[in-house]
Copies of this chain bind each other. A is one copy, B any other.
Amino acid sequence: MHRTDRYHLGMPVPKGSTIDPERTRAAILEAATTVLYERGLDGVGVAELCALVGVSKETLYRHFGTKDGLVEAMLRARSERVSRWLAEAAAAAGDDPHDQLAAVFDTLGEWYEDPAFRGCAMVNAATQHHVEAVRAVTTRHLDRYLDLLTGIAERAGAADPPLLGRQLLMLVEGATVVAAHHGTAGTGEQARQAALALLSAAARTGGGD
């Protein structure tokens, strides 16, 4: 998008800014993403958050208005980022829907083994924070996942792609929950096998292309 193009050819830009607010905003967002994911939305106060980012409270509040505003912006960005990440992993696996599905779960499996892994940030947020805007981001996040998985189901010739898509979504979120709360060991691999079994069964039932 834009980064240092704060104004365009003397256009009626707000006024004339300084010190690159965009950069400041991005820095806050990045640090908040890390620390709020690790410690939980209510596990770190605004004061500590500002100290960690190296920014004053006034700056944070000027950019996001509210802690909830920051949380919402952070979740929105994170959802887009990880959704794109998964979709690209699937696309990079070639044209075979089976390979694409396997790639999705392999990617998830790698994530589970990251020491910083704490489950799905959007689901966690919706669980902790009962604010409507946050819940909306989470629902939309699951929609993105569902789109990806339903697309794979369609290309695999499943009898009922929306159904298989939902079932695969459950597997994705279930694997994430189990990895977060019941141990990481082998979760990605086990989930991948289950997903491929479901895909095969659905393709066998329906018409392979």
Contact = CB atoms under 8 A, between A and B. Distances in A.
A130 B170 contact: no
Interface in A61-113: none
Q: Which of A40, A172, A178, A186 has the most CB of B within 10 A?
A: A178
A197 interface: yes
Given A42-B42, A177-B123, A198-B197, A167 B190 contact: yes
A119 B127 contact: yes
A208 interface: no
Contacts of A178: 142, 166, 169-170, 173
Contact of A170 (B123, B163, B183, B190): B190
A181 B130 contact: no
Nearest to A124: B127
Interface of A: 39-40, 42-43, 119, 123-124, 126-128, 130, 135, 138-139, 142-143, 146, 163, 166-167, 169-175, 177-178, 181-183, 186-187, 190-191, 193-194, 197-198, 200-202
8 tightest Cβ-Cβ pairs between the two chains A and B: A174-B174, A170-B174, A167-B194, A142-B182, A173-B177, A173-B174, A197-B201, A127-B127
